[in-house]
Amino acid sequence: MAIKRIKEITTEDENFRIENVQGFHMIRRDPVEQVPVGTLIAKVFRVIGYDKDCDGSLMARIECVDKDGDTTGWEQDCVGLDTESTWEIDSADDLDKLAR
C-alpha cells in the first residue's frame, strides 16, 4: 500500500503563458492531468450535520478540509456514509502520517 501526496503542477508543466487575444492579455495553460485517469484518491471531509432522507434515514452534510483542518469551501449535502467507502480518521493530518 502506498499513500502519497499528488504531484503539484508547476507553471512549466502547464506551459503557463500570457497571450494577446484581440488586444486583451489572456492567461493560457496547457491541460495537465495531475494523476492518471482511474487513480484512486482520498480527500478529507468533515461531517457538519445531518438531514433526514425521504425514508427517515440520515444523510450527511460534509465540507472538504485541507491538511490543517481548514475548510476549502467545498460542501456537499445528501451524502450517505457507508462502511464500504467511508473511513473515520482522528484529524486531517492523519493521511500525511500514513504517507510517511
Residue spans per domain, the chain: 35-99
Residue 4's nearest CA partner among 35, 37, 48, 38 is 35
- Interior angle at CA 48, CA 46 and CA 49, nearest 5: 135
- 46-91 pLDDT per residue, tens: 999 999 999 999 999 999 998 888 999 999 999 999 999 898 988 8
Whether residue 13 is predicted with pLDDT greater than 70 in this model: the reply is: yes
In tens, the pLDDT along 25-44 reads 999 999 999 999 999 998 99
C-alpha grid cell, residue 82: 457507508
CA angle 51, 58, 95 (to 5 degrees): 95
Q: What is the pTM of this model?
A: 0.76
